[in-house]
Amino acid sequence: MSSTREERVDNALQQLLERLVPSQLPDEDEAHADQRWDEANELARDLLDREPEPGVADDVNQAADLIKRRLVREGGGPERASAFGNLYSRLLSQPVLDKKWGILYFLWKLTEGEDVNGSAGARSNGMGNGARHSVDGIDLTRRQRDGKDEQESVYDEAFARNGLPRMQRVDEVSSPRQPPIRERLAPGRPKPPSQEQTVDTQAEQDISSGDVAPSEAALLRDMPFTLQGLSSTYLHFTDHSSLKLPHMLPVPLISLLHSLAEPSLLYRSLSQFVESSDGGLVGQSLRSAIGLELRSYLGLIATLEGQIRRALAQLDDKLPRGGLDKAGVTLKRCVIWTREATLGLRLMSMVVESAKSKKGGELISLIHNLATSHGDAFVYTFAERLLTNITRPFYNMLRAWVYDGELEDPYREFFVSENTDYEDSGATSVWESKYLLRDEMIPSIITSDFAHRVYLIGKSLNFIRHACHDSAWVEAYSKEASRELVYGDTANLGQSIDEAYKTVMARLVWLMETKFALAEHLAALKKYLLLGQGDFVALLMESLASNLDRPANSQHRHTLTAQLEHAIRNSNAQFDSADVLRRLDARMLELSHGEIGWDVFTLEYRMDSPLDVIVTPWASKQYLKIFNFLWRVKRVEFALSTTWRRVQTGSRGVLAKVSDKLGADWKSARLGLAGMVHLVDQLQYYILFEVIEASWSGLQKAIHNPASGTVTLDTLISAHTAYLRSITRKGLLGGAGGVDFTAQLHELLKLMLNYRDAVDGLYSFSVAENAKREEMSARIETRTRAGRWGLTEADEEDTGSPGFGGTSTGGGRSKTGAGVTESPIPSLLSLGGGTGPDAERNMLEQLRQRLRSLEADFKARVNVLLGDLAYQPDVDMRFLGVVMNFNDVYNPTRRRRQKPESKGKADAGKA
């Protein structure tokens, strides 16, 4: 590469010497011509190889201006100056030539006949009047120019696109020989500069080093470069945040340069920000927007540079300050012209500094707040212009989310983000956990309600596509409704979002109601798990009663399933759809020691995707909780009803025969049973009708006529959740008002079952007593017919007087009789003391004592329950207490909850 460059330099130098140095003058021998050629070549080589003077500044514009002035002063007129300007433009367009200033300076010196190596410090018009070298034997081109036309041709040829043409020698026409290519001579020792050259060089070095203050014209010449963040002759950038000014400047110029240094430094810092690649899509849009503003700023600088050049071309050395004031361009006017641009650069710099730790919606909010919170019209317009470009990625993400249900956010800048901890476990997880709404990323250009709607639209589309498997509709909707969203078009944006919201929500609700039969499944849950299908529940309980009385570990799944199918086939449940019956199943809960079948049996209704987004796992647990409670209440009601029927039937038969001995006991037992049956009936009525039916009506109203006006999947979920919460709260399954009604009711139900067992024991005792009497009557009748005494002393000792009633005397005889020999119901209590009269009396007393204690405990617990219900804020719960105690048979008492300290003191006192 270096050899090629040297060859080009040699060829150009040969052509230049052939053009400037005549090959052979008239009356000149060949030896003298060769000597003159060698001296010219040596001089040219010396000039090329000599190191440039440090004081000479390369300024192509200054050299061009000086040549134009010389052309005007020599009488060429503006035509020659214009022709030179065209040639100068063509010279600047040549990319090969990198020493344009040296070419112009060399040509300008040739026109003066001066030494081209003259010092710049003493040039006239800024280029200097260096000492001229007299070169023997060298006749410069100026002597060859004999007229104006010849001089113009020289200029044209000098700036020709193909370079300088070769000048033919005088004898070339007659002789075809080519001029020999001279060998490159070693550069000679440069001559020491003259004293005038030394003074001029020292002056130029003083200006460049700052010892001598530059003129305002020189500063104006450097100003376009400085405003673009480039170092110039007198204004150097030491780093990206500082600009070094020349010394010895007057204070006014320093003040002006300080004002002009601000946009220069701001431009440098902003250029570095634009060239960086950090941040997300919105951050890159911010860089693009700032880049557009910087290009506009460069357009202003280009216009300012044109004005400065025209002004400098009109300077006159004879006028004060070179006529700069009359030229129309000064540093003060540059400050005025760049004032608005400086304000814009200042705003952009402030935005860049504030946006370092922000992205996405936060960055948009930052610039939007700048527009809305500032009263200056310029600041508002500037911020709005930035927002137009910055919000494009945001609206592209918004469009993809609203019309496709897809999240195109690689840098997590959107206010909707995908949950990284999401695990696909059904439709519930898809709807609840797959996407999250980040409030901190919601830009201030939209409201929170608007953002929530957008979040629901995209989430619903994604749910329709992946959970409902209806991607064909989503694609068709996207093609039909998709439109471009831009900043500033608020009316169309709001209308587009409203239309998309209504369309997507209507489609999703339609799919849930028709394709997946949501209403049918919710009704099935109410009928089977909330015991709304009465005939099915009664038949199921009757068929399972004998099995569920056995221990839990003896229960079998196939037995329970068979009984469930039997109840379905023999009730109105058989008319339900096959899909509903397929989901209904019987199963057992976790077994514990000592439990029976009633404690572990439960019904299950399986919900699959996408219905499990409404009947969530939490909702399934609530249904199970309600079913277990209602099933226990139903079991107690079934047991009490069975015992009541037996007692009422026996009162006209067996129990009437022993009424002289157990009449008072049965009267008290029937009163206790009646109170318990009444309590259970009122509790069932309240839960099934006042709670479940009322909550069901509220659910239907919330689904079909929501308060928001538009039915969404969130509306269905919230309505169903409120439905279950209402049942658990008002159905005494939650801690309403800090009272645990569930525990109280479970204790009451246990007491009722224990009381039922005691009544069954009394019934067994009554049957046994009646059997004894029937047997004794048969003996007496048989003995009487045989002519013997019907009752002997041995019989009296065996049976005792209690066998004939608790009040009969020693000779009393019973005249009743019909023949039952053995009770069909086994005795609940063991005799413990044998089979004599004492054992029977002890057993009866135990039964009486147990019935009295259970009844007293029952009344005490009911009093506490009624006292708690009386102070509940819900009117239906208070009314339940009223109907349970409509005849004031109970005395409601409100418990006083002692503080732990007082309770501890009381316990210590008892100890």
Predicted local confidence at residue 639, as pLDDT: 93
Helix H segments across 93-213? Answer: 100-112, 148-158, 195-209
Q: What is the pLDDT of residue 836?
A: 59
CB 387 within 8 Å of CB 351: no
- Residue 171: what pLDDT? 40
The pTM for the full model equals 0.64
Backbone phi, then psi, for 243, in 5-degree steps?
-125, 130
Which string of DSSP letters, residue by residue, matches 736-781? GGG--HHHHHHHHHHHHHHHHHHHHHHHHHHHHHHHHHHHHHHHHH
| Tokens encoding 72 | 């005007």
Positive/negative CA dihedral, 403, 409, 413, 418: positive
Please calculate the CA angle 533-538-542 and round it to the nearest 5 degrees: 150
User: Alpha helices, DSSP H only, in 159-280?
Assistant: 195-209, 216-227, 251-275
End-to-end CA distance of the chain: 112
Q: What is the reported pLDDT for 831?
A: 41
Q: Which residues contact 813 (CB under 8 A, 6 or more apart)?
A: 780, 790, 791, 804
Q: How far apart are CA 22 and CA 728, in angstroms?
A: 118
Predicted pLDDT at 507: 93
Q: What is the pLDDT of residue 353?
A: 92
CA distance 38 to 14: 11
Long-range CB pairs of 856-861 (<8 Å, 24+ gap) are 857/751, 858/672, 858/675, 858/676, 858/748, 858/751, 858/752, 858/755, 859/890, 861/744, 861/747, 861/748, 861/751
Q: Helix, strand, or coil here: 585?
A: strand
Phi and psi at residue 466, in whole multiples of 5°?
-100, -35
Opening angle at CA 234, ends 233 and 235, nearest 5: 105
pLDDT for 284: 92
Q: Is 832 left (phi over 0), alpha (psi -120 to 50) or beta?
A: left
Please give the distance of CA 827 from its chain centroid, rounded to a whole number: 71
Closest C-alpha to 341, from 425, 230, 228: 228
- Rg (C-alpha) for the chain, rounded Å, is 57
Structure tokens at 717: 């979920």
Contact, 850 vs 768, CB < 8 A? no
Task: State the Cα–Cα distance between residues 302 and 295, nearest whole angstrom.
Answer: 10
Three-state SS letters, 777-794: HHHHHHHHHCCCCCCCHH
Give yes or no for a cis peptide into 610 (omega within 30° of 0): yes
Q: Is residue 767 packed enough to be buried (19+ CB in 10 Å), middle (13-18) or exposed (0-12)?
A: buried
Query: Per residue in 451-505, pLDDT tens?
Result: 999 999 999 999 999 889 899 999 999 999 988 888 888 888 999 999 999 999 9
> Which residue, among 325, 251, 257, 263, has the nearest Cα to 293 in the 3D structure?
263
pLDDT at 734: 75
Three-state DSSP state, 578: helix
Give dist(CA 230, CA 237) in Å, integer: 7
- The reported pLDDT for the residue numbered 125 is 39
- The three-state secondary structure class of 422 is coil
Specify which residues 587 forms β-bridges with.
602
How far is CA 63 from each of CA 31, 100, 127, 206, 318, rounded to the nearest angstrom?
Answer: 39, 10, 8, 20, 20
Predicted pLDDT at 156: 45
Tell me whether strands 242-244 and 416-418 are parallel, antiparallel or unpaired: unpaired
CA distances from 257 to 245, 265, 545, 792 (A): 8, 12, 103, 144
d(CA 123, CA 666): 141
- The low-confidence residues of the chain, meaning pLDDT below 70, are 1-4, 51-60, 75-78, 95-96, 111-212, 316, 318-323, 325-327, 423-429, 707-708, 735-737, 794-837, 896-911
* pLDDT given at position 323: 64
Question: CA 745 → CA 365, 632, 731, 739, distances in Å?
Answer: 57, 10, 11, 12
Q: Give the per-residue pLDDT at 392.
A: 93
Q: pLDDT at position 173, please?
A: 37
Give backbone dihedrals phi and psi of 652, rounded to 5 degrees, phi first.
-100, 5
Residue 140: name the closest of 116, 166, 160 by CA.
Answer: 116
Q: 544 is written with which tokens?
A: 């399972």
